[in-house]
Chains A and B, each alone.
Chain A
Amino acid sequence: MKINIISVLTIGTGLLLAACNSGQQNNAGIDNRELSGAIQVDGSSTVYPMTEAVAEEFRTVQPKVNVTIGSSGSGAGFKKFARGETDISNASRAIKEKEVNACRENSIEYLELRIALDGIAIVVNKENAWLKTITTEELKQLWEPNSRVRKWSDLRAEWPEEEIQLFGPSTAHGTYDFFTEEIIGESGASRSDYNAVSDYNVAVQGIAGNENAMGYFGLAYYTENKDKLKLISVDNGNGAVFPSLKTVGDGTYTPLARPLYIYINKKSAKRKEVMEFVKFYINNAAKLSKDAGYIPLSETEYGNALTQLNAISIK
């Protein structure tokens, strides 16, 4: 029984390989420098869709390079990266002091590249008529640890006396770290009596189903659920701004816009397939970040990234 399953699997694999091989021949004419090898990527689940998009496109150019991607989270990703277990680490925040030291201990040198921007959207229920814009000060009052705000009227007297239902990411998320850092001023400091979700679609459902609900998550989750949610503009003292391709891109949507990163092991970058992949990443980041729901950086910033990469490959 078991032997049969394995043999079927082996034959299936063989057929598949044959299929792949015939595909490669078509491509061979286009690219005469066909590379092979394996590239290991792990880290942030926020950056995952972006790197997945790049890997998928890279396959059409270099089908023999096997790029594998994990999504164990920024922190877990850095742990592996610092041990030299991965070539590239996805991160939705910059590397922390502790992680820098871990890399140094194992003499891992790395290059940090920003690849796109992500906005954090503040959203409420469609039926919510009173809330159009919120100040960062009000967000702080609402989300700070041991916050006394229970009802809308606790924030502004003219708002209804109804209890607010809060939704936000669980503590394991980079989004949580970032939001608390920017709004409260201390990473990880947040009230704990909110609906903490590990899957943002749960928050989308929750907010769509409750008139008094409010929450925050990555802009892509709003963009895909526009018909169910209402987006709130954020006022940081310089006027109310809605998060969008433009405002996140030009930096006017502050403080709730963040860069997304990839970290490249410099030793791995000496391998041709890794260098090609990262260059491909940067060259296509502008186009592919939109597919993944993120906002591209400026042309100059991508140009700088390429210059940094070239500097390594010359050494």
Chain B
Amino acid sequence: MNNAAKNKLKDNLLKYFGILCTLSGLIALAIFIIDILMDGLQRLDWEFITSLPSRFPEKAGILTAWTGTVWVFCLTALIAIPIGVAAGVYLEEYNKKGALANLLEINIANLAGVPSIIYGILGLEIFVRILNLGGSLLAGSFTLALLILPIIIVATREAIRTVPKTIKEASFALGATKWQTISRQVLPASASGIITGVILALSRAVGETAPLIVIGALAYVPFVAKTPMDEFTILPIQIFNWVSRPQHGFIINAAAAIIVLLGFVFIMNGVAVYIRNKAQRKGQ
């Protein structure tokens, strides 16, 4: 076998290995989704979505759980996006490179790897007790915002770095100030990257259970939250609670609730892709 043939063989091997790797992930996901759909679809109806929790699996619904998840999603986004993006912009555009900058950078990268339950403990002390927010939606959202801030900051910085230097220089050359350059050139040009990062971070937040259990999110809440100071429950907690119950009917309910949560995350990702595509077209 000559060298060219060998290399071609290697090429092909790598290609098929790549296909295999891709498929293994997809197949696992497909099996999971099919299994969940088979269990849960029969239970999924309007009544399930609009009913309060109950001890009878066939009467129980997820109204308080999904509204809690929507509340937490919105509040977390409102808190985390401005802070995260502003921090990213500062670190990338204003912060002088040096020892302090390096320290900050390492710390933020490390924060992204801290187990989520640690944020829960932090949130319990700071938001629930010191700031006296109690086990409220606001305390939960602040905690989740902390959790996803590092991801948003890193994503923002990466996105800003991809903006060509020439655009900034051209803006400065025309007499624009730093803020004008950032707000009119840099941010619009990096918007798609930032939004992708934000949505990935928020999707993670929506699936988190551990930190919210620590701060005191509940399992049984018979009313829909009306203000950010209300107590709450969320879909993952409801699912977790049902999965561990002895009655088989609750397992079916859990599967149905998982479908709703999956649907929510899919829709959010869809919205993200839509906004990103729009931003990209505008950027060009």
Footprint of B on A, CB under 8 Å? 1-2, 5-6, 9, 12-13, 16-17, 40, 42, 45, 48-49, 51-53, 55-56, 59, 66-72, 80, 85, 198-201, 218, 220-221, 223-225, 291-293
Q: Give the Cβ gap from B213 to chain A, nearest Cβ, in Å.
A: 6
Which one of A1, A42, A55, A70 contacts B222 once the chains associate, using CB atoms below 8 Å? A55
Asked if B220 CB lies within 8 Å of chain A CBs, one says: yes
Interchain nearest-CB distance for A73 vs B (Å): 10
Q: Which of B11-19, B147-155, B239-247 contacts A (4 or more CB under 8 A)?
A: B239-247
B55 touches A16 (CB 8 A): no
With contacts A2-B77, A220-B246 known, is A80 near B216, CB below 8 A?
yes
Please report the C-alpha to C-alpha distance between residue A292 and residue B134 in the assembled complex, in whole angstroms: 29
Are B246 and A45 in contact, with the CB atoms below 8 A? no
Q: Does B218 contact A (CB under 8 A)?
A: yes
| Known A12-B67, A49-B55: A70·B218 in contact at CB below 8 Å | yes
Closest to B78 in A: A2
B248 within 8 A of A: yes
Q: Mark B239-277, 1 if CB is under 8 A from A, else 0.
A: 001011111100100000000000000000001000000
A223-B248 Cα distance, complex, nearest whole Å: 11
Question: Is there contact, CB below 8 Å, between B241 and A71?
Answer: yes
How far, in angstroms, from A103 to B251 measured CA to CA in the complex? 37
Give chain B nearest CB distance to A61 CB in angstroms: 13
Our pick among B214, B219, B231, B248 for the contact of A48 (Cβ within 8 Å) is B219
A9, A17, A199, most chain B CB atoms within 10 A:
A9
Number of interface residues of B (CB under 8 A): 35
Docked CA distance A225–B248 (Å):
9
19 contacts between A and B (CB under 8 A): A12-B224, A13-B225, A42-B216, A48-B241, A52-B219, A56-B54, A66-B223, A68-B218, A69-B218, A70-B135, A72-B213, A72-B214, A85-B134, A85-B216, A200-B244, A201-B243, A225-B246, A292-B55, A293-B246
A70 touches B223 (CB 8 A): no
A16–B223 Cα distance when bound, in Å, is 9
CB < 8 Å: which of B54, B67, B135, B271 contacts A9? B67
Residues of B within 8 A of A5 (CB): 70, 74
Q: Which residues of A contact B217 (CB under 8 A)?
A: 70
CB distance from B183 to the nearest CB of A (A): 20
Q: In the complex, how many angstroms separate the beta carbon of B253 from the nearest chain A beta carbon?
A: 13
* CB-CB under 8 A for A52 and B220, given A5-B74, A9-B70, A291-B55: yes
Q: How far is the CB of B96 from chain A (nearest CB, A)?
A: 35
Q: Which residues of A contact B77 (CB under 8 A)?
A: 2
- Tell me, in angstroms, the Cα distance from A112 to B165 when the chains sit together: 70
The reply to whether A52 and B53 contact each other, CB–CB distance below 8 Å, is yes
Residue of B nearest to A204 (CB): B246
Query: Do the beta carbons of A53 and B55 come within 8 Å of each other?
Result: yes
Whether B6 is near chain A, meaning CB under 8 Å from some CB there, is no
Report B-chain residues with C-beta under 8 Å of the C-beta of A293.
246-247
Cross-chain contact B70 with A224 (CB below 8 angstroms): no
4 extra interchain contacts, Cβ-Cβ under 8 A, other than A49-B245, A66-B223, A70-B216? A42-B218, A66-B222, A69-B218, A291-B55
Whether the pair B243, A199 counts as a contact (CB closer than 8 A) is yes
Q: Which partner residue on chain A sits nearest B243 by CB separation? A: A199
Q: Is there a chain A Cβ closer than 8 Å to B71's Cβ?
A: yes
Least CB distance, B216 to chain A, in whole angstroms: 6
In angstroms, Cα B5 to Cα A205, docked, is 52
Q: Which residues of B contact A292 (CB under 8 A)?
A: 55
B221 beta carbon closer than 8 Å to chain A: yes
Separation of A297 and B216 alpha carbons in the complex (Å): 31
Q: Scoring B residues 32 to 69 as 1 if CB is less than 8 Å from chain A, else 0, what string do you get?
A: 00000000000000000000011100000001000100
**Contact status B246-A221, CB under 8 Å:** yes
A69-B52 Cα distance, complex, nearest whole Å: 13
User: With an 8 A cutoff between CB atoms, is B226 at the interface?
Assistant: yes
A10 to chain B: closest CB distance in Å?
Answer: 8
Q: Which of A56, A221, A293 has the most CB of B within 10 A?
A: A56
For residue A87, give the distance in angstroms from its CB to the closest CB of chain B.
Answer: 13
Q: How far is the CB of B234 from chain A (nearest CB, A)?
A: 13
Closest to B231 in A: A68
Option from B63, B74, B225, B246 in Cβ contact (under 8 Å) with A200 = B246
With a cutoff of 8 Å between Cβ atoms, the chain A residues found around residue B135 in the complex are 70
Q: Which residue of B lies closest to A65 (CB)?
A: B222
CB within 8 Å for A224 and B247 given contacts A2-B74, A9-B67 = yes
Instruction: Tell which of B67, B214, B220, B243 touches A68, judged by Cβ atoms closer than 8 Å.
Output: B220
Q: CA A72 – CA B74 in complex, angstroms?
A: 25
Whether the Cβ atoms of A13 and B226 lie closer than 8 Å is yes
Chain A CB within 10 Å — which of B74, B217, B271 has the most? B74
Residues of the A chain whose Cβ atoms lie less than 8 Å from the Cβ of B55: 49, 52-53, 56, 291-292
CA distance A198 to B223 in the complex (A): 28
- Write the chain A residue with the least CB distance to B59: A56
Q: Which residues of A contact B246 (CB under 8 A)?
A: 200-201, 218, 220-221, 223-225, 293
CB distance from A57 to the nearest CB of B (A): 9
A49-B55, A293-B246 given as contacts; is B74 within 8 A of A69 (CB)?
no
Tell me the residues in window 171-221 of chain B with beta carbons closer than 8 Å to chain A beta carbons: 213-214, 216-221
Name the B residues within 8 Å of A225 (CB-CB): 246
Complex CA gap A196/B226 in Å reads 40
Residues A16 and B224 in contact, CB atoms below 8 Å apart: yes
Partner of A69, one of B213, B219, B225, B245: B219
Q: Which of B63, B214, B231 has the most CB of A within 10 A?
A: B231
Q: Sort A-B residue pairs by CB-CB distance and give the 10 closest, nearest first.
A: A69-B220, A224-B246, A53-B55, A199-B244, A70-B218, A220-B246, A221-B246, A71-B219, A68-B218, A52-B220
